[in-house]
Amino acid sequence: MEFRSVAGDLPSIPDDLSIPQFILDSHHEMRPDWPQGLPWLVADKSGRTLGLDEACIDLKANITWYTLVQIQKRTNALAIRLRDEFSIGQNDPEYPICMWAVHRLLGIVTPCNPSLTVPELVQTLTLSKAKLIISHADCLEIATTAAQKMGIPTNRILVLQNQDDTQSLRSSFEESKTIESLIQEGLKSGEAVVERRFKKGEEKSQVAFYSSSSGTTGPPKMVKISHYAFIADIILTAALNKVGRKAPSPRYVPGDRCLGVLPFYHPVDIYGLVLIYVFTRQSQRFLLKSIPPQISVIVVPKFNFADMLHSIERYKINSLMVVPPQVVLLSKEPIVKKYDLSHIRTVLCSAAPLAGSTEATGVVSMTQAHEKHGRQCGIMAPGIQGRVVRSDGTLVGYDEEGELHVRTPAAAIGYLDNESATKETFLEDFWIRTGDLVKIDKNEEIIVVDRVKVRGFQVAPAELEGCILDHPLVADVGVVGVPDSFSGEVPLAFITLTPEGVKMPLSDLKASIHKHVAENKAPFKHLRHIEIIDSIPKTPSGKLLRRKLRQKGRNVVVRETKL
């Protein structure tokens, strides 16, 4: 059987607007009026001025906030300079301005995780064919090294400074321009970007983002996300949360404040990227989806739990958008009792192990707006259809396991320069294979049974397996995710050894493999467990039997917990 959303009808989706035209310039039927004087983006730590007459600065409280007028001016100014002269980083109020400026010029943005190693960033730059890098100052060394390997000149690396950095960049990177300097140059020019309005329907094929994803298998691929898909996801998410002019949302109230602690770059399942878009001008993993309920976003540069609690108390935060490890900390850490969290009304937890994917441009399901407590992964958003498919291709009904396929107006276009992977994931009649093993109960709730995600970041088993196989003492390997109370899931590698590996002391061997992975992969991909076995279970055709490995993995975790 096929499942359809029970959350109501999907509102109209414009098909002739770019993302910044929709977010910054247009008026949608669901978007409430922005409360006068309400800031849109607030820099959590910065006290520096913006150089604008309209700047809303509270130096005494060490707060800088950006109004819609400021954002429009700064986006236009940056677009002017990017147009005339010529993406990785921590959260920053300028992050969306950088993206919107590129989109004003119909450029394509590839968000990157700042924890990527140089080889991983080189791989991303290669796949995306990037010509310009916007790097946070703290990531500049890795960005510069990767750029040199790719032949990207230093003058095509632009720098986002720290929120609390009131000084110019250190001299060692004098060739790099700052985003702020470009904005100021653009403001002085007094020019305005003349944007092209899409022809009707053209928005569906105009790519806005290349977003990294493993898809269902294999190494990272670049998902092509159109302006239309991103805007559609904004609208269906807003509809699911009952945001609009007709009645106040049960969850989000105009004038609320949301903590922007999710990574705006989030390239994997796009949680921070999309939801912040949805709930900023609307209310708040890419930043600022934007349709109401008109909530200010307090932009936190980097996650630190104590700092997060301080910000919640300082700004009287009403809405939290978090990932499971942060929920664990909020529930268990004694330090929480030292802070006043009484203003929090809504906590939205997603990314792992909940449903959502890059290929679907983010939101697939969510707890219904009128429910106070989510039970599973929620119901499908308006406009989304789903089906649960057995390995033999047959469809299942309620409470039966299978792979989730979805059909959504927010679907990505496909993978960049990878036709075979596109055909494998993007099926006929616009269905998408999510790679999630799920079941749907009679309450129409999606229950995810399996997928590997660490602290909200998707980890492709095949990618780790390829890395581990490069180790000279490894003969074969199978990687699965196993439960972890803090990270949600962590990778476990089952490994068979070469004859030379068998002779090596076990502790030294494991240390060597851990070191090998750590040197080649970002921290969230590092192995938590290694188990040496005689053979990797496979089908007669050679396909890994991951179900058997997952069962073995659970036994390993139970055994190590007892120890």
The Cα 294–Cα 55 span in angstroms is 19
pLDDT on residue 46: 57
> Higher model confidence: residue 156 or residue 172?
156
For residues 433 and 425, the answer to whether their CB atoms sit within 8 Å is yes
Percent helix / strand / coil, the chain, rounded to 5: 35, 20, 45
Rounded to whole angstroms, the Cα distance separating 527 from 535 reads 19
332 near 378, Cβ under 8 Å? no
Distance of CA 532 to the CA centre of its chain: 34
Return all residues near 246 (Cβ < 8 A) that are at least 6 apart. Answer: none
The predicted pLDDT at position 63 comes to 56
pLDDT at 280 over 50: no
Q: Is-contact 233 289, C-beta < 8 A?
A: yes
Mean pLDDT: which of 138-142, 243-247, 266-270, 520-524 is highest?
138-142
* Cβ 431 vs Cβ 387: under 8 Å: yes
pLDDT 10s digits, 345-365: 888 776 544 445 667 766 788
**Domains assigned to the chain:** 14-246 (3.40.50.980), 382-448 (2.30.38.10), 452-561 (3.30.300.30)
Q: Residue 106: is its pLDDT beyond 70?
A: yes
The helix (H) or strand (E) run that includes residue 222 is: strand 221-226
Bridge partners (DSSP) listed for residue 286: none
Sequence-separated (6 or more) residues with CB below 8 Å from residue 50: 57, 64, 66, 70, 74
SS (H, E, C) 294-320: CCEEEECCCCCHHHHHHHHHHHCCCEE
Give the span between the Cα atoms of 144 and 499, in whole angstroms. Answer: 41
- Answer with the residue of higher pLDDT: 214 or 44: 44
CB 78 within 8 A of CB 98: yes
- Model pLDDT, residue 56: 46
| Predicted pLDDT at 287 | 33
Question: Considering all CA atoms of the chain, what is the largest pairwise distance in Å, rounded to the nearest integer?
Answer: 72
Tell me the three state secondary structure of residue 405.
strand
Query: Which residues neighbour 46 within 8 Å (Cβ) at sequence distance 6 or greater?
Result: 62, 64, 93, 163, 164
Residue 88 predicted with pLDDT over 70: no
Nearest to 40 by CA among 111, 101, 93: 93
Average pLDDT, the chain: 78
Percent of the chain with pLDDT over 90: 27
Q: What is the pLDDT of residues 45-72, one digit of tens each?
A: 653 333 333 444 444 455 556 677 788 8
Most confident segment among 48-57, 232-241, 272-281, 368-377: 232-241
Q: Indicate the SS3 state at residue 438.
A: strand
State both tokens at 330. 């909020």
Give the whole-angstrom CA distance, residue 214 versus residue 218. 6
Contact (CB, 8 A) for 35 and 283: no
Give tens-digit pLDDT for 424-473: 889 989 899 887 778 899 989 888 765 555 555 667 777 788 889 889 99
Strands 319-322 and 346-349: parallel
What is the Cα–Cα distance from 544 to 538, expressed in whole angstroms?
Answer: 4
The candidate with the shortest Cα–Cα distance to 262, out of 211, 305, 303, is: 303
Confidence of residue 260 (pLDDT cuts 50, 70, 90): confident
Highest mean pLDDT among 102-106, 109-113, 369-373: 102-106
Q: Where are the alpha helices (DSSP H) in 475-545?
A: 499-502, 506-520
